[in-house]
Structures are given as structure tokens and as C-alpha cells.
Structure 1
Amino acid sequence: MSDTDPREIVLKGIGASPGICIGKAYLVDKEGVDVVKKYFVPKENLLNEKNRFKTAVKKARDNLHKVIEDTPEELRDHANILKTHVALLRDKMLYGKIIEIIEKEEVNAEWALRKVSADLQATFRKMADTYFRERATDIGQVSDLIMQNLMGTDHENIKDIDKRVILVAEDLSPAETSQIQLEKIMGFVTDRGGVTSHTGIIARTLEIPALLGIDRATSIIRNDDLIIVDGSTGELIIHPSEQTLVRFVKRRIEYEAHKAKIARGNHLPAKTSDGAVIHIMGNIELPEEVVSVKNYGGDGIGLYRTEFQYLSRSDFPSEDELSDKYRDVIEVMAPNPVTIRTLDINGDKAISRHPDSLEPNPALGLRGIRYCLKKPDVFRIQLRAILRAAAGFDNVRILFPMVSGEEEILEAKVILNEVADSLEKEGFNLSRNIKIGVMIEVPSAVIMADTISKEVDFLSIGTNDLIQYTLAIDRGNKEVAHLYQPLHPAIIRMLKRVSDAARENDVKVFMCGQMAGDPVYLPILLGLGIRELSMSPLGIPTIKHVIRQLKFEDTERFAESVLRQTTAEAIMKLLKDTYGDILFQKNNIQATDQQPQ
């Protein structure tokens, strides 16, 4: 590199989709949308101002419908993401509130849109759950669509890009991401967004490297700058040196070869070298993601998050609507299991999204089974929908989240039985052998696992919240996030306690938290007796590949050694010393499973 060459810059972001790409940057221009001025509109012109807003909304809706029609085949299963944005355009809390602000405050449509959008986004960003915080992005993206039409600033059409590049943008909406032509776009980088954003989900479906949440990307990178995107590690390299280029070209070749090797075993069973079969399941939030679970060789659905259907709307979904969605998943996966988790959010917040409904400490507030038991009408509708959808099938499991003790399980089971009785009286032919389970994600549930096990058919460990609550660590707080330690001896001992309680009471124990999707933890989890793991569909092939290299009998002895360690560092050293050649292959495709459980 000469003295006049720009210096290499390395930035860290969120790896939303794994893989490595090297190429020239292409900045997506969105100039003008953020420059909004407030001005007052005379009463006699308010009708025109409202109509101007309605016209902008209609144009945005028409554009989205056109994108949906033109969506490439590989993304057809994610059309509901775009339909959600269409629904947001009609949402009373967005559309209706903006009309109200224009009328009451006598202001221009742009200002009303910016005000309402900012309030709604702030509401979502204060929610405890990472997944729901990401829904603020959807609101922002839909607002930008309307704003462009109001201000006359046309977006660049990504599908018209005619050269091979890496996209760099402040943000990319699902509509824009779905227009990506794989023969032209190698990957993308955005200033905003997270792994659970819909843009991230689509990137993983397209299987192109993507980095999100790099605050300064668009301010540092210029058009045609040479950049490297590593979606596995979250690294962005700008102006790479020759040595860096050589290193990443080699890594990309090795990564692609390793990925192809793993893909060849997608549909082989996850069987250890001594014959123990481990069931590898997929976590989903949209019915359309079932296809990904099947394509990647998943043995079923270990966690179907049902909150998505309660979002971005002004009312609760109907029983028929919920039942149809659940039925779609059950039918596609049959005869493999489908584990439907009941609503795990404060439903009032999900529906109304009003700032006044915010709790001061939502992580410890009214959520999960607590909300459902306090709002039995909402709970009954969802349970009726699940039971109706499961009629004629024996592959459905119901999972209650955020359980802290036996009383909640007993109360939930009473409601479930009452709902089943009422449906049978109405003439529905129900299956009464649905398995009931609870999420173990609260320390009190671990302590009471022996008695809880007597009331259920299975336990499902949600490590994300369990680790957070046990170690008093807010994963979203950068000051303490480094203390979030899955290998903390207290966590390992808790997993042991839950596994022992399940075995003593002859119930199954599963895991659907982030630990389940990381191959590093496999020898410990298998050694503790966990025989079903659920994760992001993308992580399934790697987990199955690593399991086939392990010997179950050895992992049991290994877990005993792990339980004698007193620090996370000592446990990690033990993992490296014993299984380093299997777990820490430099090309291992890590599961991108940073979604909340």
C-alpha cells in the first residue's frame, strides 16, 4: 500500500446473515427523507392536506403491492412480511393518528407523520423483548415510504442496479431487500437494523452476507470503495490492505467449501458416532419459515413464536385467523412436531402501542403466562385456535412461557380443559393428547423443576432469559453485556438441575434458547441429557454436522468434569482442550440465532 492509499478501517456490526463478500460499495441514496419542516395549515386547506397524505399512502400501498407481485420465487414464502407493511399503512394507530394530528394541530402532513412515527417507534424500542424492539424498524420503514411520496423524493430502484456490488444504506426495507438480484448484489451493509429485523430474515433466506447496525457506514464509505463484509463475525473492512484481501479471499473459499460439505448432510439424522439420536428443530415466527426448517433438514418446530400476528394492528386477531395460520404450519410439518408457544408479550402493548401503557421495568412485568392469566379472554381465543388447528393431528405441543411456579401451570391447564370442553360441545372433534410444556426461563422455575415436571409433558429451556435473570444482566446494556456468560457455572448447574428433574419424573427436556444453536455448547448439553435442540433454521446444518462427530457416552463423562469447574474461563478451556478440533474449526458456520426466546 502506498502513502497515498487510504488507510484500512475495521468496523463492527451485527452479523445478520453469515458469509463473506468482497467488492465495490454502492451507496443507496435516500436523500431528503430526514429533512422535515413544520408549518401550519389554514383551516380551509386542511381537507387538501389530509387528501395529500391519503394520496401518499395509496401510492405507497400500490408500490408495495407491485413489489409483492414481482417478488422472486425464492422469497415467495416471505410475502407476509411485505403484507405486514401494507397492513401498517392502514393501521389506526399510524394512519388514523396522523389524520387526527393534521386536523387538531393544523400542521402539514410531513410533520404529523414524523411526530406519530417517532412516538410509535419510541414505544416499541422501550419493550423488553429484542424481537419487539425491532418492530420499530418496520414502523420507520413504512413511514419513510409515505414520506418519500409526500416530499417527492423517489427511492432508487434496487432491482435496476446493473453491476456487481455490495449495497451500503442507512437502512433497507423488506420491500427493497426483496428486490435484490442475486447475480448483481453480493451482500449489504446498513447503519440501522438488527438480526431479528425482517430485512435480516430476508437476507438469511437469500443466503447473502449482511451486516446491520453499523452506525457510521454511510458516512465513511463512498461509492466504489473496496470493502469486505463478513456476516459471520460482524466485521466490515473498508480499504482493505493487500494482506487483508489475501486473508479474506482464502477465508471465503474455505467458508464456501465448508458450507457445501455441511449442506450435503442436511437431511441426514443428527446421530452421534455411538448411535444416540438428537432431534434438531427450528424456531420460527412466521408460518412461511416452515419451508426453511424443512429445507435445512429440521426435525420439526421446537418454538413457534405466535406474537407476530398480534403486532401492527389496532385489534386482536380473530380465532379463525389464528387457527388458519397455526393449521398451515401443522399441516406442512406433519407428522413432525410443532411446538406452539402461547402469547409472550403484554397484549395491550402489542395492540395499542400507546406510550402510556409502558411499564417501568417490562422485563419483570406483565408478560407471558402472567398476561394470559390476567386476560383470560385473550388466552381462551388463542387456545381455542390452537386446539381447532390441531384437530386430526397428533404432532402439536403447547408451550406456556414465563412460568415461575406450579400455580400458573395449574391455572393454565384448567382454562385449557374448559376451552376443550366448550369446543367439543360446539361439535368440534378435538385431539385430547396434545402435549403440554413450560418454558424454563425464570430461576424460580429451575428451583421448582421437580414439582413442575409432575404437571407437564415436557420442559423447554429458554436460555436467553434464564441467563439474563440469573446473572442480573441486561443483554442490551453494553456496559454489562460482556458479563452475559452461558458458561457461567451457575447456569450449567441450573441446566443440570432441570435435566435431572425431568428424568426423575419421566418427562422430556428440550432447549430453544440461543445456547441450542451454538455448536460450542453441544458437548455440555448432550452430556446433561438434553436430546432436543431448537434454533434458527440456518443453524440446523452446522449443529447436525457437529453432533455426528461427537460420541454421546464421552459427552456424559465430559459434563461431569464441567460441573466440577468454578469459572466460565475454566469451562471454556476444558471445551477447547477436549473438543477444540471439532468445535473451533475456523470455518464453522455459526448459527445466526440471536433472536429472543
Structure 2
Amino acid sequence: MSVTGQDNKELQQEFVIVGEPIVPGIGLGKALLLGKSSLRIRELTLPQEEVEHEISRYYKALKRSRSDLAALEKEAKGKQGYQEIASILQAHLEIIKDPLLTEEVVKTIRKDRKNAEFVFSSVMGEIEKSLCAVQKTTATTVDRVQDIHDISNRVIGHLCCQHKSSLGEFDQNLIVFSEELTPSEAANANPEYIRGFVSLEGAKTSHTAIVSLAKNIPYVANFTTELWDTINEFSGTLVLINGDKGEITFNPQLSTIQTYYRKQASVSVTVPVQVQTGKNLPLISLSAQIVSTEELPMIERESPGTSVGLFRSEFMAFSLGRLPCVEEQADQYAQLVQFQCSDIHVLRLFDFGEDKECPCISSSHRSVRWLLEQEKVLKEQLQAIAIVSRIGRLKVLIPGVIDASEIALVKRLFQEEIRLLKGISENILWGSMIEIPSAVWMIEEILQESSFVALGTNDLAQYTLGTSRERSLLGERSRVPHPSVIRMIHHVVEQAKQKNVPVSVCGEMAGDPALLPMFLGLGVKELSAVIPAINSLKMRLLDLNSRECSRLTKQLLRAKTYEEVHQLLYV
């Protein structure tokens, strides 16, 4: 399929709008505007003799929708680095298989003699209302509501026999603009031709962002309605998307395009994983966050020599739909240990709870407390780690600790597994994830039990500020670290320096190039970011010097408001 360009000469000047960077990267292509669905669902009363035919029509639409999703999920499972996409599509399949969507809809069609489109839309609307009524507005709620919209559009499209062009059908480079970009639209996209996503609203923690990140497609979101309305004038024009800065450039000049790509290319080729700019900056390591060992070839391709700074082991369970056995875990961990890089890889123990529910165990606890409650699960994971320690060294990160006693207990259980598996020598460095305020203020004791610590900035900000991780709900402030969070990071780093314990930072902040001067000034030694962000971080590091970083950090530590921090970092 193809997209035609604008001929209006008034639109040929370079024009830039700025939103929130969601997924980093640079992309160039023609603007493709996806409009809202034009379907208007009418309420129709059916003759009694047509009711069973209407039910049959509804079943066919459900079947086709399931087939669509099953095909997408199968494709995702067969590709490296797409495990999170497969998990999201599996969740969509589970929703569409829910008896409520068959029994309740069919029952209502029979009782009220209404058309399937109207009844289905009404039932999905009620589900959405109940979700919003019984749950506070969190990232999980917003994702589920978006999932419901996505599924509704798919089923209603089949009911109305309306074929919507798939983003996998285009054969030219495009930047896709959509008021609400759904996870399945992103999953359909062919990254060879879809070079960027732009949406009116969006969030870094959303399912759509997760899919975009897995496909390495830059994504920018969150514009004012007035600014968004101007985009309609640029359908078909050339667009440059900068997912690092949140910039969308319409009709970019050749010099602008060359500047972006020249800088990006030089970073990809020449900058090492451990970066020192030659401007009196301390050495800083950049490592990768992954959810599956299938992403290891992507690291080798995108940033050779990079170590894994955070392997999120719980995603094995999400991919399988159950907890992995000891052998399955040991196989994955062995692949991690054997992957050649510049440093020891970091494996995080299962981190279940809240928005990451275990597929087969329900609990009110999360992180390490979930593990200690489910001791059999923890022991099996520790056994797999002990087996793999024969092959090589591994750093093991304990999630969500609140004090040193939890670390000591996990280490004691590991020693029990070592004793049971005779002939296996311990080859493990233990680390603690600092993501709860209590851990910040118990850091001296935690450091005594830890060979390294990792600051989990997503949860640390959430629990400190009493907010949702859903970025779009926080507005412009969502990008900006609160002064209290900056001071907490500073406190942890200073205490760790005294004990000579290295500190890494992971989470969204670690992948934001604008925050690099702050982390360098604070003395952070490692940043662990998603693979697509690593080259963007390298690019930013080339422009920094020690004096400026130090001066900026002192100002940030004196800041009292979001606005002051924003002014220092982003203006």
C-alpha cells in the first residue's frame, strides 16, 4: 500500500512540534494519519425469526477476531525479543474467550432482540465502567481499558465487515499518527517500513509502548488538542521523529536529516559500552534490560559487548502462562551466563505483585515478600541459579527489599540449596533493589548484606510520591524527577560510596538522555536501559563535561519543586 504526499507549497517549510518521548530512536518517513473508527453503531430491533441468525453472525465475528489474535501471538512467539508482545496478545485472547463475551451477549440478543453490534458494544462499555468504578486509576486499569477498546474495535469491525488496513501491509517508510494507538495496531506494524509512532496520548508503561519498544519503533506522545489538530494538514508529508527528545519535524531540511543520522551512526559504530568522553568525566557503564534470552542477539547486533544489567526473570512465567520448572530456568540462566560481554550479567529474582500478577498464584504480597511467602517457588529459582553457577559468575538482584533481614534470609535459603546440590560452588554476587522508601533509609544495613545495589526508579518514584506509574495521568510532571526522589538517589549513592558498593540505576529514568548529567554528577556508575535507548545515551554522553554535570547536580539538590527541576533539566 502507498501514501500520497501534500502538494500545498505553504506546507513545505520545516515545522517542529514537541511531545513526550515514549520510545527512543530516530525515524524518517511519510506521515500516515489513522483516523478514528467511522463506525456508528445503531440500535436495531430484530424480528424474532432473525435472532438465531444474529447470534450466529456474532459467533463468526468472535471466531475471526480470535483467529486474528492467535496469528499475531504465534508470529510474536516466533521472533526474538517479542515475548512481551506475545504476553499482551495472549491477554487479549483470554479476554475474548471470556464466557461473559459469549453468554452475556448471546443472552441479551435473545432477550431484547437487539443487533449484535449494539449489544456487544453495550456489554464492553459496562465492563469498562465497572473497571473504572472499582479500581483506582492506575497503569494497570488504563491498560485494561485500552485492551477493551482494542478488542471491541476488532470484533465490531468483523461484525460490520469493515476491513481496516493493517500496519503490516504497507511497503514504504511511514510515521504513523493516531489519536489512540492500540497494542494490536502496534503489534501488526512491520518495523521495516513503520519507522515511528505518534499519538495524542500515551504512556511509557502502556502496552502500546511495550510493543513499540520490542519492535524498536520510536514513539512520541502527549500533545495538546490544539497542536494535534494542526497535524491533519501534514498528511503524506515527510516527517522526522526523534524519540529521544520527543520532537516531530515535518518537512525536515536535508541538513537536519543528515545531522541526526550522522550523529546516530557515529555513536552506533564508535562509542564503547563503558563511556569516558575525555572531558574529565568518570567512567560510566551502560547495560541492557531484557525480559528474555532471545534478546541477547539484539544486544550483539545493536550494542556489541554490552552486559545485561537487568534480566526480568518473571517474564518467563508470563510467556509460558505458568511458572517455569527448574530445568527451564536453568536453561535460560545458562544462556545468560554464557553470553560474552564486558561485565557480569544481572539476574533479578521473580518480581511478582500488583500489575505483574503471577499466572497461577494470587497473593497480596509483592517482590521479595511474595517470594518468601511462596518459599517453594523461591527455592526452585535458587536451585536453578545454583546449578548455573558451575558455568560462570552471576549477579543476582533481590527485588523490593525493605530491610537487610530479607536479603539475609534469601542468602540463607540459597546456601541450603548449595548444600543439597553437592559439588556446586557458590559463584554469585548478591545485590538489592532499592525501590521502596524504607530501603533508602535502611541503606546502611542493606549495604552490609549487598555486593551491589540497583535503584529501581519507577517504583521508587511511585511509592515516594503516592502516584500511579501511568505517565500520561501525571501530565508534563511525569517526565520530571521530584526533588525528593533526586535527594533519595543522592543519599543512596553517598552511603554506597563509603562502603565501596557500586550503584546502578534502572527504570525509565536510566533511559532518559536528559538525566545523564544528573546521574554523572551524583556519582552513579552504571545505567541499565532498554536496548533501543543505549545508543541514545552514548550520543548524549559525548556532549557532557564534568564541571557542568557537577554544577547542575548541586542546583538539582537545592531544588524544591518539579518546576525548578524541569527548568534545570529540560529547558
TM-score, normalised by the number of residues in structure 2: 0.74
Deviation per residue, 1:543-580 (Å, 9 max, x gap): 3355466677x68976995688465799979989xxxx
How far apart, CA to CA, are the structure 2 residues paired with 1:337 and 1:226?
Answer: 47
Instruction: Using the TM superposition, give the Cα deviation of residue 382 of structure 1 relative to its aligned residue in structure 2, in angstroms.
Output: 4.3
Counterpart of 1:91 in 2: which secondary structure? helix
Instruction: Using the TM superposition, give the Cα deviation of residue 47 of structure 1 relative to its aligned residue in structure 2, in angstroms.
Output: 11
Q: Which of the numbers 256, 260, 263 marks the counterpart of 2:265?
A: 260
Instruction: Using the TM superposition, give the Cα deviation of residue 281 of structure 1 relative to its aligned residue in structure 2, in angstroms.
Output: 0.5
Instruction: Using the TM superposition, give the Cα deviation of residue 449 of structure 1 relative to its aligned residue in structure 2, in angstroms.
Output: 1.0
Q: Is contact 1:404-1:442 (8 Å) kept?
A: yes
Paired residue type of 1:278 = I
Deviation per residue, 1:464-486 (Å, 9 max, x gap): 33344445565648568639753
Q: Is contact 2:28-2:174 (8 Å) kept?
A: no
- Superposition CA RMSD, Å: 5.1
Instruction: Using the TM superposition, give the Cα deviation of residue 530 of structure 1 relative to its aligned residue in structure 2, in angstroms.
Output: 2.5
How far apart, CA to CA, are the structure 2 residues paired with 1:76 and 1:385?
Answer: 25
2:368 corresponds in structure 1 to 369
1:149 corresponds in structure 2 to 158
Q: Is contact 1:282-1:298 (8 Å) kept?
A: no
Instruction: Using the TM superposition, give the Cα deviation of residue 323 of structure 1 relative to its aligned residue in structure 2, in angstroms.
Output: 4.8
- CA gap of 1:557–1:231, structure 2 versus 1, over 3 A, is closer
2:4 corresponds in structure 1 to none
Instruction: Using the TM superposition, give the Cα deviation of residue 450 of structure 1 relative to its aligned residue in structure 2, in angstroms.
Output: 1.0
Paired residue type of 1:27 = L
- CA gap of 1:270–1:87, structure 2 versus 1, over 3 A, is same
Paired residue type of 1:338 = H
Greater shift, 368-377 or 115-124, is seen at 115-124
TM-score, normalised by the number of residues in structure 1: 0.72
- CA gap of 1:86–1:26, structure 2 versus 1, over 3 A, is closer
1:501 corresponds in structure 2 to 495
2:197 corresponds in structure 1 to 188
In the alignment, structure 1 residue 305 sits paired with structure 2 residue 312: yes
- CA gap of 1:236–1:199, structure 2 versus 1, over 3 A, is same
2:232 corresponds in structure 1 to 221
In the alignment, structure 1 residue 410 sits paired with structure 2 residue 422: no
Q: Is contact 1:195-1:212 (8 Å) kept?
A: no
Deviation per residue, 1:146-184 (Å, 9 max, x gap): 443344322213344456654333555566446545675
Q: Which of the numbers 275, 280, 288 marks the counterpart of 2:286?
A: 280
2:533 corresponds in structure 1 to 539
Paired residue type of 1:221 = N
1:234 corresponds in structure 2 to 246
Instruction: Using the TM superposition, give the Cα deviation of residue 115 of structure 1 relative to its aligned residue in structure 2, in angstroms.
Output: 3.6
Question: What are the ranges of 5 or more consecutive residues in structure 1 without an aligned counterpart?
Answer: 359-364, 577-583, 587-597
In the alignment, structure 1 residue 398 sits paired with structure 2 residue 396: yes
Q: Is contact 2:139-2:206 (8 Å) kept?
A: no
How far apart, CA to CA, are the structure 2 residues paired with 1:409 and 1:38?
Answer: 62
How far apart, CA to CA, are the structure 2 residues paired with 1:556 and 1:11?
Answer: 25
1:439 corresponds in structure 2 to 433
Deviation per residue, 1:330-361 (Å, 9 max, x gap): 4445684332223334279725799xx99xxx
Following superposition of structure 1 onto structure 2, how do residues 547-558 of structure 1 map, counting pairs within 5 Å? 547=541
In the alignment, structure 1 residue 337 sits paired with structure 2 residue 335: no
Paired residue type of 1:153 = Q
- CA gap of 1:98–1:328, structure 2 versus 1, over 3 A, is farther
Paired residue type of 1:486 = P
How far apart, CA to CA, are the structure 1 residues paired with 2:102 and 2:464?
Answer: 46
Q: Is contact 1:473-1:481 (8 Å) kept?
A: no
Counterpart of 2:519 in 1: which secondary structure? helix
Tell me the number of residue pairs that the alignment of Structure 1 and Structure 2 aligns: 550
Instruction: Using the TM superposition, give the Cα deviation of residue 460 of structure 1 relative to its aligned residue in structure 2, in angstroms.
Output: 0.8
Following superposition of structure 1 onto structure 2, how do residues 68-467 of structure 1 map, counting pairs within 5 Å? 76-81=79-84, 83-84=86-87, 87-88=90-91, 90-91=93-94, 94-102=97-105, 111=119, 115=123, 119=127, 130=139, 134=143, 137-138=146-147, 140-142=149-151, 144-161=153-170, 165-172=174-181, 176-177=185-186, 180=189, 185-191=194-200, 193-197=202-206, 199-201=208-210, 203-204=212-213, 208-212=217-221, 221=232, 224=235, 226=237, 228=239, 230-232=241-243, 233-235=245-247, 245=251, 250-267=255-272, 269-273=274-278, 277-294=283-300, 295-297=302-304, 299-311=306-318, 316=323, 318-319=325-326, 321-332=328-339, 336-346=343-353, 350-351=357-358, 366-388=365-387, 390-421=388-419, 424=421, 430=424, 432-467=426-461
Paired residue type of 2:451 = D
In the alignment, structure 1 residue 482 sits paired with structure 2 residue 477: yes
How far apart, CA to CA, are the structure 2 residues paired with 1:206 and 1:214?
Answer: 23
Greater shift, 401-410 or 201-210, is seen at 201-210
How far apart, CA to CA, are the structure 2 residues paired with 1:571 and 1:191?
Answer: 26
How far apart, CA to CA, are the structure 1 residues paired with 2:63 and 2:562?
Answer: 57
Q: Is contact 1:474-1:481 (8 Å) kept?
A: no
Instruction: Using the TM superposition, give the Cα deviation of residue 534 of structure 1 relative to its aligned residue in structure 2, in angstroms.
Output: 0.9
Paired residue type of 2:367 = G
- CA gap of 1:155–1:410, structure 2 versus 1, over 3 A, is same
- CA gap of 1:90–1:267, structure 2 versus 1, over 3 A, is same
Instruction: Using the TM superposition, give the Cα deviation of residue 249 of structure 1 relative to its aligned residue in structure 2, in angstroms.
Output: 5.7
Instruction: Using the TM superposition, give the Cα deviation of residue 459 of structure 1 relative to its aligned residue in structure 2, in angstroms.
Output: 0.9
Greater shift, 212-221 or 441-450, is seen at 212-221
